[in-house]
Amino acid sequence: MERTEDRQEEHLKLFYLPKGHPDFGVDALEHYGTLTYLDDEGNYHEEKVISEQGDYARVYDDIYQVIVHGKEKTVNDEETITVMEILERGIEGCS
Read off the pLDDT of residues 26-36 as tens digits, 9 standing for 90 and up. Answer: 888 888 889 99
E strand or H helix at 8, and its extent?
A: helix 7-13
How sure is the predictor about 41, in pLDDT bands with cuts at 50, 70 and 90?
very high
Count other C-beta atoms under 10 Å from residue 53's C-beta: 13
Domain segments of the chain: what residues? 1-53, 55-95
Rounded CA gap, 95 and 88, in Å? 11
Q: Who has greater pLDDT, 41 or 54? A: 41
Question: How high does pLDDT run on average in the chain?
Answer: 89
